[in-house]
Structure 1
Amino acid sequence: MARLSSHVIALFIVVALVCAFVPVFSVEEAEAKSLWNTCLVKITPKCALNIIYVVFGNGTLIESCCYYLVQEGKVCHDNLIKYIADRPSLIGRKAQYLKKRDDVWNHCVSISKTA
């Protein structure tokens, strides 16, 4: 009888954990889909990858991509980079990535004003 009770408790814990985490995953998927539908369609894949590599790596910004970034808009840029920076493997350096995100945005805005 004690075995049955411990199995029921274990099953209850598993079900509770699944119920707790499934909504989080579905919200995250919805957020990713929304970002894709509203933001990433405004920028070329080449420029999106370039900007991501500049923010999260040691890439050099292709200045012609600044036009697309500014067209995409600050809200999209901020949300996309924050969404990526929130990944568990990157969150330890999130502040650094958000600063680089802002630096890229400011640089691109300054270029677009002079063009």
Structure 2
Amino acid sequence: MAKLSTQLTTLFIVVALVYAIVPVFSVEEVEAKRVWNTCLVKITPKCALDIIDVVFGNGTLSDSCCHDLVKEGKACHDTLIKYISDRPSLIAKETQYLKKRDDLWAQCVSIPKTV
């Protein structure tokens, strides 16, 4: 199971890098890339990968990563997951991923902040 999780995480890193490097041709893609670059600076790379693993795999998210996700904001979270799930290889399960995205958000906002 850990091997599958590692492979899935690696796959999404590669997909993210490819889409970051490939020239952008449409206004929609330019906007998605701008949001992508704006939002990802608000969370650690490990938390970003853990969030992807939760939504697109069977991972778990620590409370500290949940706090980072909430700090990132719902608009960023929604946009980034939608951007990834719109890829041709993932579109068939997009509804499932968007539900997991929303469930993760609800879980994270319900965790009280520690001082």
Taking structure 2 as the reference length, what is the TM-score of the superposition? Answer: 0.72
CA shift for structure 1 position 63: 2.0
Corresponding position of 2:40: 40
What percentage of aligned pairs have identical amino acids?
A: 75
AA partner of residue 92 (structure 2): G
Partner of 2:88: 88
Deviation at 1:29, TM superposition (A): 4.1
Q: What is the root-mean-square deviation of aligned Cα atoms in Å?
A: 1.7
> Structure 1: which 5+ runs fail to align?
1-23
Between the two proteins, the alignment pairs up a number of residues equal to 91
Q: Of Structure 1 and Structure 2, which has the larger fraction of its residues in helix? A: 1
Alignment TM-score, normalising by the size of structure 1: 0.72
Separation in 2, partners of 1:89, 1:47: 23
- 1:54 maps to 54
Q: Which runs of 4+ in 1 moved over 4 A?
A: none
Q: Which of the two has higher C-alpha Rg?
A: 1
Structure ranking higher on relative contact order (CA contacts 8 Å, 6+ apart)? 2
In structure 1, the residue matched to 2:14 is none
Match in the other structure for 1:77: 77
- The Cα offsets for residues 3-61 of structure 1, whole Å up to 9 and x where unpaired, read as xxxxxxxxxxxxxxxxxxxxx83335413431233211111110000000100011112
- Paired with 2:68 and 2:61, the residues of 1 have a C-alpha distance of 12
- In structure 1, the residue matched to 2:31 is 31
Q: What corresponds to 1:10 in structure 2? A: none
Matched, 1:65 2:65: yes
